[in-house]
Structure 1
Amino acid sequence: MNKAWLIRRVAMAFLTIIITIIISWVLIEYSPNSPANALLTNLRVTEASNPKFAQIYASELQFYNDLVPHGNPVIEAFNYIWQVLHGNLGLDVISEEPVTTIIATSLPWTIFIVSTSLLISFFLGIRVGQKMGYKRGSKVDSSLTTFFTLLRSIPLYISGALFLFILGFELHWFPTGGAYSASITPGLSLPFIVSVLYHAILPISTLTLANLAGWALHMRANTIYTLGEDYVSFAEIRGVRDKLIETKYVGRNALLPLYTSLIISIGFSFGGSVFVEEIFSYPGVGNLLYYAITNNDYTLEMGIFIIIITAVVVGVLLADLTYSLIDPRVRNE
């Protein structure tokens, strides 16, 4: 691998993270509905009618101004980036706890359900999609294509709400919220692990179904395209075994375009699924982001955005660096 290209690519990734964080910070900090403006509006509305609540808003506004001093926007932006580079995401506006501590408690739950569902849907989807591509035009292919197309058109929050209502509230087969039973002490014990898996079944199933259709249809299209390549026809003429053609000649090359999508999806998984975690009351980053947005919690919002931005950019960088390992043509170039 070219060392100059590697240095340039890493530098571009770092610069992308910095610029994206600055843009996000400016959009939140200087928007009409910024935390300071919201607190100031609440203060003005309640100041005359309810002095007690006005005092609370005034103290929150003072805390916010102490937390994020206003001055030259350029200096503020660079100061914020400097703090971020040192691992300091600030204090939560509402709880006054470190943002890194709050995110650290929710991130493992999000990584667990989103990554698990993503890997299950990916490997199952590429296998089913490859079989659909081989049987293109058949009744099985037509039926599965119609099914996955309809499945892909169903919004995530609709399927999650149906799972919760039918399997949770009506049949009582699965819990309706939380990450584990409140009666179980967290730790590396069998009851705790079983409880965690039991509570994660519905969120993982919802995310798996939502992702499965996309992977299967994409793999089907890639398989059909790859089957028309000359090297596949030449391998069939040579008498290469069908199983070898399916795995080495077709499967591997049809999978290549999906590799980058998978790595990027893993990066986005750090942001969790807001709808699924909110529906199932799952204590992940997605639920935390929903809480931060609805409560105008500026520092917590930015902390989660930084985690998502960094994960996605690093994922794309890893995809670029490792793509040559699965595609020799890139390595030769």
Structure 2
Amino acid sequence: MALQTLKTLCNYVGNQATAASEEYLEVTSPHDGNTIAMVPLSTAEDVDVAVTSAKAAFGAWSGLTFKARSAYLLKLYVELQAHAEELAELVVLEHGKNMAEARGDVAKGLETLEYALSLPQLTQGRVAYVSNGVQCRDERVALGVVGGIVPFNFPFMVPFWTIPIALGMGNTYVLKPSEKVPMTMTRVAELASQVLPPGVLNIVHGDAKCAQALVEHAGVRAIAFVGTSMVAEQIYKRATELGKRVLALGGAKNHLVALPDCDVEMTAQDVVNSFAGCAGERCMAASVLLVVGEQPELVERIVAKARALEPGSDGA
């Protein structure tokens, strides 16, 4: 990978790299433990700068037609698609996924961005004629600034679960990536600055204190969180107390059931792929396998395939 392996990161606010706190955290390579970047631990003041930028951009951005916003998102899609391989390499560098999984991470995120291009057709609203001279009408109105807090396991895909939809609906966005994998979304912000108006998408780096400041900022109207169930509950409780809209996604417990007539080879491979893919660091990883009836051959094949795994290989 022809990538710079040591970089001091900045926040990205108003389409500009912005200096933040003087306190930094080392970003270490999962491959060898070496330091590959330094990420700032943003303060509440740094968060305020980003939210202020997003608020300033909200009026003009939300005032655009759906079609006009979709045109911007299409430009973003084209820009990110052109750099998809570079983004996948960054995912490998800072997260440790193998290249196949990293490419999948980027591809799935881009799918959501592509879906958001259809929002003009998907969110047209309704008019109901409920009585003589009486109409009821649905309207979708942008909230304002949305704050996003995301985990380390999918550096590109998970942020793009919400960024394209929020922007397409007329909101502006402040994202706090995981401090463990901050490089991918910093590069996204650099690329986005070439096609989006200033302040529409902003990045603030930091730890839990930064996340708390984002949740509690009076200028943030909605919070989107993905992470552990414990933190999801805490953020949901605090944000709703403050009158914010909240999407709080926690962990998962996935159960697989193998019926007596299952294809043994296919089932064994699928089970191993489920719990070992992405090193098991994903919400759809298999946690429990319930085998119906006596199926010793299935169990033996699962054990054999698991023992044969090589870290870093496709599917491992």
TM-score w.r.t. structure 1 length? 0.24
The structure with the greater share of residues assigned to strand is: 2
The structure with the greater share of residues assigned to helix is: 1
TM-score w.r.t. structure 2 length? 0.24
Query: Relative contact order (C-alpha < 8 Å, sep 6+): which is higher?
Result: 1
